[in-house]
Amino acid sequence: MRMVVLSKPAPLDDHYASIKTCKPRISVFKGIPSINLRDPKAKTLIIQACQEFGFFKLLNHGVPMETIARLEAEALSFFNLPRSVKDKAGPPNPFGYGTKGIGPNGDVGWIEYLLINTDQNPEISRSAVKDYVMEVKAVAYEVVELMAEGLGIEQRDVWSKMLREESDWCLRLNHYPISRDLQALSGRKMIGFGEHTDPQIISLLKSNNTSGLQICLKDGTWVSVPPDHTSFFVTVGDALQVMTNGRLKSVRHRVMTNSLKPRISMIYFGGPPLSETIRPLPSLMAKGEESLYNEFTWREYKASAYKSRLGDYRLGLFEKASTTGH
């Protein structure tokens, strides 16, 4: 079976029986908060969005479209290469090319991807990655500083410092090929990337105009996020949930394949330094408020997450006994 990306074939192997499917009865959700980064009320709107959804669309972010387009073109060029050439860039350890397999514990999806950073990415233009990451990091710093302000934290740079100083960051380029032939077999949607939360502090996602991203609302309902190739989607990570003692929630999300168009996404994951202790900020805690979590280092949490399955509730291992039953 050959999967077509634009005008070029980019096949994944046809052993897809282990990839899960879902009934495609998911409504398009029009209630995703859209926040203008230059809005004077942005800090308040961001906190409201992160409390309710753990997720929002960011407008007027300031990242040049030519910087975005250049990296997206580089990604498409790479994913359009013959499979034998792409395989030479893998497997990801931790950076490199992967296909179908997501992590070491048996999770699979209809996906191929490239995990890169500015020092280890011979497959993609280093300058394209460097320029993109520099711009997106600046946006991430501003967003987490607005979060700190919105929560009334006096130290505005409490989280941006973690993202600046020896940050454990990663850039992920995802390609979800068309799955028209597979869906014709059963009328169901193939899962491209299974449900999960992001373990880091914050994630900034940029995609083409192909739908597929879904988030889980508080009541457990899955909804489809309308694509917007001009904006970024910001996701609260597990580390930020802990550091706010649950005030901001990491959001469960997943990606479904599209039967008409391939999806390309580029995600910056902003993590703290590996040695950073993750615990609720004392300055945020109310008098008498107890931490919901046992403290841990980012290295410990990252190692724990690496041993888990995508859909596992990873924070459960670090919750204090009185808070179990999440």
- How do the pLDDT tens digits run along the chain, 326 residues long? 333 334 343 455 544 445 555 544 567 888 999 999 999 999 999 999 999 999 999 999 999 999 999 999 999 999 999 999 999 988 888 789 998 877 777 777 889 999 987 666 677 888 999 999 999 999 999 999 999 999 999 999 999 999 998 999 999 999 998 876 655 555 566 788 889 999 999 999 999 999 999 999 999 999 999 999 999 999 999 999 999 999 999 999 999 888 788 999 999 999 999 999 999 999 999 999 999 999 999 999 999 998 898 888 999 999 997 644 44
- Report if residue 325 sits inside a domain: no
Alpha-carbon gap, residue 273 to 32, rounded angstroms: 31
Residue 322: inside a domain, yes or no? no
CB 159 within 8 A of CB 243: yes
47 Cβ contact list (under 8 Å, min separation 6): 147, 150, 151, 248
Residue 265 lies in a domain: yes
> Is residue 190 one of the residues assigned to a domain?
yes
CA distance 117 to 299: 18
Q: Is residue 84 part of a domain?
A: yes
Q: Which of 114, 135, 137, 118 is nearest to 126 (CA)?
A: 118
Domain at 252, CATH number: 2.60.120.330
The contacts of residue 101 (CB under 8 Å, 6+ apart) are 91, 107, 108
Does residue 100 lie in a domain region?
yes
pLDDT of residue 78: 94
pLDDT of residue 119: 62
Q: How many CB atoms lie within 10 A of CB 14?
A: 11
pTM of the model: 0.89
Query: Are 59 and 35 spatial neighbours (Cβ–Cβ below 8 Å)?
Result: yes
Distance CA 12, CA 4 (A): 10
Sign of CA dihedral 139, 271, 134, 211: negative
| Owning domain of residue 234 | 23-283+290-307
Other beta carbons within 10 Å of 263: 24
What pLDDT is stored for residue 19 in this prediction?
52
221 within some domain: yes
145 within domain boundaries: yes
Domains in the chain, number: 1
Could you give the 3-state DSSP secondary structure of residue 266?
strand
Active site residues: 263
